[in-house]
Structure formats: structure tokens, C-alpha cells
Amino acid sequence: MQLTDKVALVTGAGSGIGRACAIALAEAGAQIVAVDIDGKTAADTASTIAAFQRKSLGLQADVGDLADIDRMVRAAIEAFGRIDIAVNNAGVTRRADIMDLTEADWDRIHRVNAKGVFFCLQRVAREMIPQREGRIINIASIAGRGYAGTSNAAYAASKGAVISLTKTASQQLAKHNINVNAICPGVTRSALSDANLRVRAEQEGVTLQEMERRRAAVIPLNRANDPEDIAAMAVFLASPGARNITGQCYNVDGGLITS
């Protein structure tokens, strides 16, 4: 229970990595603000956490909208009085070749993945600065490090932005005792990645099972991540053991890339 009495806000908490992070942080003792663009799934995550005897709040918010970001943070502060941990996880993508991407794709992806992460980080930092402590964990991707199997180039660019943001934010917020780190997942089983896998299976004319086999075969450890693998790293980065770690971007990818 390393996080007892800490308050954690997790975006994209309705499913996948975000839901796993919210649950794992709760299991470590934290109280949770579960945020998702789908208010029902956010409420479902909050209800699951309540079963652990942890205080929780489910909120609907669009992290691409600054007014929504402000509203969600105000609601969190009203309910819990503080925010100690923020996991900026909400993200979007689609499977597309570089020559098929549109301006609408670019704007949609960067609105959530880059703009949303930056302004969520900035807004929670406004609450953490007077506290003189905080942990901000951004969910990037090995796509931002040049992984060839990325869903598309715009997504890779957005996650590269998250990696750069993490490094600069860590330097500028360190004087306030705020740690900023990122996790770069590799192939991870989630609704988002499964949708991309189905598209690839259709494009290549093979079964979904065959695509799953191919996906695992290129990973040195021969297995894709479960969302809980990412959540375990998030709990560590939020824990006292990571108090002197900041500005780092950790790959959790089964050995797919080594830089």
C-alpha cells in the first residue's frame, strides 16, 4: 500500500491501459479519479475501484477541450482536495499508410495525443506546484521512438511529441518537486490495438488468429503486453521508490526496440 491516501487522476480510464492503471493504483492504496470521453465507462471503472474500499470518482471529459480539462481538474479537487498523481493516457489512432492520412486524421490524433497530454499536464501541475510535490506519468509509445510497426505516421509524431514534452516538462517542473516520466508501450492488447489488428488482417487477407501469431512472433519475449504490464510501471513511477526518477521514458515492449 505504497500509495495510501494519494489521489490519482487517470485519463482514458474507461478501458485498456487507462483502466488497468486506475485499478492498479487503487490496489496500491490510491484514491482514483477515472476520466474518459465515454462517461459510462469512466463510471464503470470507478465502480470497480469502489469494491476495493477506495474512494473513486468517474468523470466524462474530452482531453482535447481545455474547458473540459479545467472542469475535470476542478471536480477532482472538489472531491479529494488535491491531485498527487496524474496518468495522461487518453489517446486515439487508426491504421493508415502515410499516403492515406488526411488533415482530419492529423488534427484528430494530435488534438488528443499531443495537445491533450500537454494541457492535462499543465493543468494538474498548477495544482501540484503549491503542494510542492507530484508525479506526472505520460503514456507515450515506442511509435515515438521510430517503431516500424506503428499504426500511422501521424500517431508516431504525436507520441514523439509526448516524449519530448516529458523531458522538457521534467526539467522545468523539477524545482517544484514534481516528477515527470513517460511509459512507451509496445504492442499491447487493447480495444484500440485489436481494432488495428482486425484492419491489418482484412488488408492482408488472413485470419485474426494468424495476425495475432505474427504479432507475437516478432517480439523477442514472444508475447504482447497486457494492459497490466503498463500499469505495473505506472505504479512504480508513482511510488516512493521512484522519487529520484524524472525525465525518463521507459519502454515496456517485450524487447521490440532497444533505444
Dihedrals φ, ψ of 46, to 5°? -60, -40
Residue 56 one-letter amino acid: S
Nearest to 147 by CA among 222, 18, 253: 253
pLDDT score recorded for residue 16: 95
Superfamily of domain 7-188+226-252: NAD(P)-binding Rossmann-like Domain (3.40.50.720)
Q: Domain-by-domain residue ranges, the chain?
A: 7-188+226-252
pLDDT score recorded for residue 2: 93
Measured CA to CA, the distance from residue 33 to residue 82 in angstroms comes to 11
250 an active-site residue?
no
Q: From residue 171, how far is each of 10, 103, 143, 147, 247 by CA, in Å? A: 23, 32, 23, 26, 7
Instruction: Categorize the per-residue pLDDT at 60 as very low, low, confident or very high, splitting at 50, 70 and 90.
Output: very high
- Taken in order 245, 160, 121, 167, the sign of the CA dihedral is positive
Summarised one tens digit per residue, pLDDT across range 124-154 is 999 999 999 999 999 999 999 999 999 999 9
Determine which one of 80, 119, 155, 236 is catalytic.
155
Higher confidence at residue 29 or residue 52? 29
